[in-house]
Amino acid sequence: MPLIYALSHVPPEVSAYGMAKYSRSSASMKDSLLELSQQKAEAFLNTFYFAYGHASIADLAHVPLAIEQISLLAAMEIVDEPLWDGQERSTRYQDFSESPYYRPDNASDGYPTGIQSLFTVYRDLFSEAEALLRERWPKPEDMKTGAYGRTIRARAFDLARYALPLATLTSLGQVTNARVLEQQIRRLMASPLAEVREIAMGMKAAVTSIEPFNLLEARLRHLDIPIDDRALMEMNPGPIAPTLTKYTEPDQYTLERRALVQSIVASFFSGVSAARPTVTLHHAVDSQDDLLAGLVYQESLLSYADILERLARLSRAEKNDMLGHVLRVRGRHDAWPREMQQRPLVFDVTVDVGAFRDLNRHRRLDKIVQGLDPQLGYDVPPEIAELPWAKHYDAALARHYESLKDYPADERPYLLPLAALRRVLLRMDFAEAAYLIELRSRSSGHFSYRRIANQMFGELERAFPEMAKAVRVTPMAAFDPFER
């Protein structure tokens, strides 16, 4: 009969060691863990993880982290990890009107003015929207007053968040295995944003050199239960993952590859494609062209179609040369770039940043994200356009965008609102496309990503009509304002 039990209060590296021992010992997990210590785990991991290259052992050490008081802009980079699991403060349910914001070192004198101008639009838009929605959707008789108020506020935040600046501070919690955490820290250390590089160093320190927050100890002290010194030492073995993530350094391959691709973009792929919220499906694209287009996409402001059109003008030898330059700088232990992963369906999506943050949490797809640039403009969705206050919103954002040219380039991303448009290339198989469409088209979702999901379905239906019949899409017209 199977013997199955859960584990608790086991440090991640000791847990990884205990599970790895299954391949080297017949002892039970309980017996293995009882004889282990953090010091034994560290010695084992130094041998098998680093010396022998058994990287899969790090997959067994799951590390929870709280990352707080960071900008929305930085949070998007942190979350953009294929095997990431976590949660972030929601702009759909929480009021950010009095939120503090990130201010870069040596920020220009006008930086606070630019941020506050967006917060003013955010507050005004929320007030206008909440009043209008209460008038449009009176409380159903069978709905409790508190639930009704929360639902209307959430729908109003769906509109107001378009004006929220990306400098707004947020918090998130994540759980990753140690191998993913190591890759994540290395990637973040290579970020062009100083804030993100600082966060990466903080994440490394939090798991390698700083004692973790011990919930068991905190609860015992809160209950005034005495803890003797020996018990305290057992409960606090030291940093949570001092071995598996200690060699994290900036990802040099990412830095070198970025510089190479930027030079290619400057020579062959300059300019800006027209931007508006849209979805375009591409399939049956030449494999080499798709690899190159993936590399070029995130360093340019061109649509995927425009990149493919320019690639068609180049000879096979020229394209081989481009790929060769990028791949020759790949080190012995560097993985293939995410941009060069391929799936049969490629959706080129232009979407507001607020909706992008929701789509960014999908893991079973490959994402290639373009940088944030004011040249792509901002969205005025139909749901805002129909408000009496719409002209004020549009005029306020137009003035704000015009003022961005007066700020240094490294400050502009923080001064963009969630209404800012950005492009993302989503590569996925049919099953993930169906899952995304079914989930994100639901009536309870935000109207922006609902619209994207419906556009994706329309593209899929045109390309694969028989297969699309199996996708359970919720049309935009099927909407219940009280469904959350």
- Could you write out the DSSP letters of every residue in 245-283? TTT----HHHHHHHHHHHHHHHHH--SB----SEEEEE-
Do residues 30 and 229 touch, judged by C-beta distance below 8 A? no
Q: What is the pLDDT of residue 355?
A: 95
pLDDT at 145 (0 to 100) = 95
Would you report the helix, strand and coil content of the chain in percent, each value rounded to 5? 50, 10, 35
In a domain, 482, yes or no: no
Instruction: Compute the distance between CA of residue 404 and CA of residue 135 in angstroms, rounded to an integer.
Output: 36
Mean pLDDT of 43-66: 66
Would the pLDDT of 52 be above 50?
no
Query: Is residue 293 domain-resident?
Result: yes
Q: Which of 307, 339, 371 is the last residue of a domain?
A: 339
pLDDT at residue 415 above 60? yes
d(CA 70, CA 88): 11
Please provide residue 348's backbone torsions phi and psi, each rounded to the nearest 5 degrees. Answer: -95, 110
Tell me what the pLDDT averaged over the chain comes to. 89
Contact between 211 and 239 under an 8 Å Cβ cutoff? The reply is yes
**pLDDT over 90 (residue 381):** yes
Quick check: pTM over 0.75?
yes
Residue 344, pLDDT score: 86
pLDDT above 90 (res 408): yes
Residue 261 is which amino acid? Answer: V
Domain membership of residue 380 (yes or no) is no
Residues 6+ away with beta carbon under 8 Å from 364: 428, 429, 432, 435
Pair 199, 248: CB distance under 8 Å: no
What is the rounded CA–CA span in Å between residue 97 and residue 82? 31
Is the model's pLDDT at 433 over the cut of 70? yes
Mean pLDDT of 127-155: 94
CA atoms within a 13 Å half-sphere pointing along the CA-CB vector of 25: 13
User: What tens digit of pLDDT does each residue of 282-294 get?
Assistant: 988 888 899 899 9
Listed in sequence order, the residues at least 6 apart from 43 whose beta carbon sits closer than 8 Å to its beta carbon are none
Nearest 10 degrees: Cα torsion 221, 224, 230, 233:
0
Where in the sequence is the domain holding 39, given as residue range(s)? 1-60
Q: Would 359 be classed as within a structural domain?
A: no
DSSP class of residue 442? S
Sign of the torsion formed by the C-alpha atoms of 431, 432, 433 and 436? positive
Residue 281 pLDDT greater than 90, yes or no = yes
Q: Tell me which residue of 334, 341, 348, 196 sits closest to 257, measured CA to CA.
A: 334
Q: Which amino acid is at 228?
A: D
DSSP string, 193-252: -HHHHHHHHHHHHHHHTSPPP-HHHHHHHHTT----HHHHHHH--S-SSTTTTTT----H
Question: What is the distance between the alpha carbons of residues 155 and 152, in angstroms, rounded to a whole number?
Answer: 5
Boundary residue ending a domain (32, 60, 88) = 60
Rounded to the nearest 10 degrees, what angle do helices 111-136 and 145-160 cross at?
140
pLDDT band at residue 443 under the 50/70/90 scheme: very high
- DSSP E strands in 115-166: the ranges are none
In this predicted structure, the answer to whether residue 92 has a pLDDT above a threshold of 80 is yes
Establish if 227 belongs to a structural domain: no
Residue 307's CB: how many other CB atoms inside 10 A?
25
* Percent of the chain scoring above 70 in pLDDT: 93
In what order do the strands lie in the sheet containing 345-352? 278-282, 345-352, 421-428, 366-369
Cβ(227)–Cβ(220) under 8 Å? Answer: yes
pLDDT digits (tens, 9 = 90+) for 163-200: 999 999 999 999 888 889 999 999 999 999 999 999 99
Burial class (CB in 10 A: 0-12, 13-18, 19+), 425: buried
Q: What is the C-alpha to C-alpha distance for residues 122 and 134, in angstroms, rounded to an integer?
A: 18
Write down the pLDDT at residue 10: 77
Structure tokens of 433?
Answer: 């496309």
- The total number of residues shown for the chain amounts to 484
What's the maximum distance between 2 C-alpha atoms anywhere in the chain? 75
Q: Is 379 domain-assigned?
A: no
- Classify 184 as helix, strand or coil: helix
Which helix (H) or strand (E) segment holds residue 74: the answer is helix 72-79
Residue 299 maps to a domain: yes
pLDDT of residue 27: 76
**Amino acid at site 235:** M
User: What is the pLDDT confidence band of residue 53, given thresholds at 50, 70 and 90?
Assistant: very low
Domain boundary (60, 75, 93) is at 60
From the CB of residue 250, how many other CB atoms can be counted at a distance below 10 Å?
A: 16
Sheet of strand 169-177: strand arrangement: 62-71, 169-177, 85-88
Across-strand partners of 348? 280, 425
Mean pLDDT on 103-115 = 95
DSSP string across 102-124: ---TT--TTHHHHHHHHHHHHHH
Which residues partner with 86 through β-bridges? 174
Domain count, the chain: 2
Q: Is residue 389 part of a domain?
A: no
- Tens digit of pLDDT for each residue in 325-350? 888 888 877 878 888 777 889 999 99
pLDDT-based confidence at 47, cuts 50/70/90?
low
Residues 6+ apart with CB under 8 A from 44: 17, 20
Given CA atoms 294, 300, 305, 307 in this order, what sign does their dihedral have?
negative
